[in-house]
Structure 1
Amino acid sequence: MSAVKVFGREPAAWLSLVAVAVKLAAAFGLDVTADQQATINAVAAAVMGVLIAALVHDGIGAALIGFAQAALALAVGFGLDWSAERQAVVLAAATVVVGMWDRTQVTAPVPAPPARLVVGNRDI
């Protein structure tokens, strides 16, 4: 079964399902705070963004960076004790890595100009 058939045109419905499942789990004993629930839902939204970007082949780099930010927020929400500076360095590194990968995926809309040989002041 392909991801397109699973998600169809209803990513918001899937995100609602995740949100309700988290609330249900919390109501029946999962020990998470309201902030942690919100962060779990933010990560679910970021994952959905990556999946949608991959399915439509557009903007996956931005979606991956958003996912990295959400994942770091989730880790901090569950007790990761990193300074703001360390978090910034990790997110900067993620941005550079995604940018380097993105560079290999992008094609210029126009061809490069032909090479020219210049000798003195004249084109040859």
Structure 2
Amino acid sequence: MPRIFGREPALWLGLVAIVVKAAAAFGLDVTPDQQALINALAAALVGAVVAFMVHDGAAAAILGLVQAAIALAVGYGLDWSADRQAVVMSLVAAAVAMWTRTQVTAPVPAPAQLPPLPASRQ
């Protein structure tokens, strides 16, 4: 399992959850729904970091991170319709696809092309 600053990702997520709960206990005005959104964003961020570290599934992790960030923003009062959210997600998906296309190579080489037969052998 990859480590982030020498610790497992699950430990970082646990720390975020505890810090948010402690902050709420000491006066931070967040609802349980907002706490859940913060934790979801943290999980998506850690997922994206791990995906980059292991070079697997980075596109899906980025899309999940953006989706979690939009959910958090809407949870805190961002007034975006579902249509606007879908447009932003489509834009991000297109940008990720453009980036992914430059990172992907075929697992096997293309078949070699045979030279054309001489006219006398046709």
Report the TM range for the smaller structure's normalisation.
0.7 to 0.9
Moved beyond 2 Å, runs of 4+: 112-118
- Report the counterpart of residue 46 of structure 1 in structure 2: 44
Q: Deviations over 1:58-105 (max 9, x none)?
A: 111110010000000011011000110000110111111101101110
The alpha-carbon deviation at position 115 of structure 1 amounts to 4.9
Matching of residues 59-78 of structure 1 within 5 Å: 59-78=57-76
5+ long unaligned stretches in structure 1: 119-123
- The answer on whether the counterparts of 1:7 and 1:14 sit within 8 Å (CA) in structure 2 is no
How far is 1:114 from its partner? 3.8
Greater C-alpha radius of gyration: 2
Say if 1:110 and 1:44 are closer, same or farther in 2 by CA, change over 3 A.
same
Query: What pairs up with 1:5-44 in 2 under 5 angstroms?
Result: 6-8=5-7, 10-44=8-42
Q: How many residues align?
A: 116
Which residue of the other structure, out of 96, 99, 104, is the alignment partner of 1:98?
96
Which ranges of structure 2 fall in alignment gaps of 5 or more residues? 117-121
